[in-house]
Amino acid sequence: MKNYILEACVDSVESALAAKKGGAVRLELCSNLIIGGTTPSPCLFQEIREHSGICTHILIRPRFGDFCYTDYEFRVIRREVRNFRELGADGIVIGILKPDGTLDMERMKILMEEAGEMSVTLHRAFDLCVDPFVAMEQAKELGINTILTSGQKNHCLDGKETLRKLVEREEGKITIQVGSGVDAETIRRIQPYTGAHAFHMSGKINLESPMIYRKEGVSMGVSSISEFEIIRTKQEKIHQACLVLESL
């Protein structure tokens, strides 16, 4: 398949470099990938830009959880968009919902203005919208470039019917980017069915911490998450996904 997009979601320089070597054409940069991603630090972005040079979109998400934000949170989001634009990010990944599950058009318009010439992706807040087809038309109206979605399911294969209908409605105005559970085999199964040409994956593996001494009974956060496992993108997983895309 020509002109495909394979985006790697990363939260470290090491993962960014592995993704680039594997053949990813774009990064979605975040922090805390283990909880679905939050806004990364400017210093992390600058380090990745210095060492990789790959097109990088920045996830702007101030916290874990839903996408209905307080006035304070919205001000933080707006400032982060402005800051990353000034730092030279290629794009941002955003999404704000109202309590009734509709897209918060008023706030999204403000963020689109702040984004300027950057590419804009509507992230998986879209998968929590009450009506994905209405939200898609609103995204077109806003001038959003990409919608990252699993078809409103936990795994994109379970959402393939909705994904197919969304791709049919792109109309050259927006790109549906398939995410959640994406790997080489998933792409092989879902691409011919949906017609999608953009995919989003982490290609992650769990690495053992190099720590030898490990203090028992002390947790830095959620006790069910080990302090001694590190999530990293595996170059080969990205490469295998690229090979599948090139063969379709």
pLDDT tens profile 45-89: 999 999 999 999 999 999 999 999 999 999 999 999 999 999 999
Kindly state the greatest CA–CA separation across the chain.
57
Q: State how far the Cα of 56 lies from the Cα of 8, in Å rounded to an integer.
A: 10
pTM for the complete prediction? 0.94
Whether the CB-CB separation of 10 and 16 falls below 8 Å is answered with yes
Which position has the token pair 């806004």? 39
Q: What pLDDT digit, counting tens, does each position of 110-163 carry?
A: 999 999 999 999 999 999 999 999 999 999 999 999 999 999 999 999 999 999
Look up residue 138 and give its amino acid.
Answer: Q
pLDDT attached to residue 103: 98
Look up residue 26 and give its amino acid.
Answer: R
Q: State how far the Cα of 21 lies from the Cα of 242, in Å rounded to an integer.
A: 11
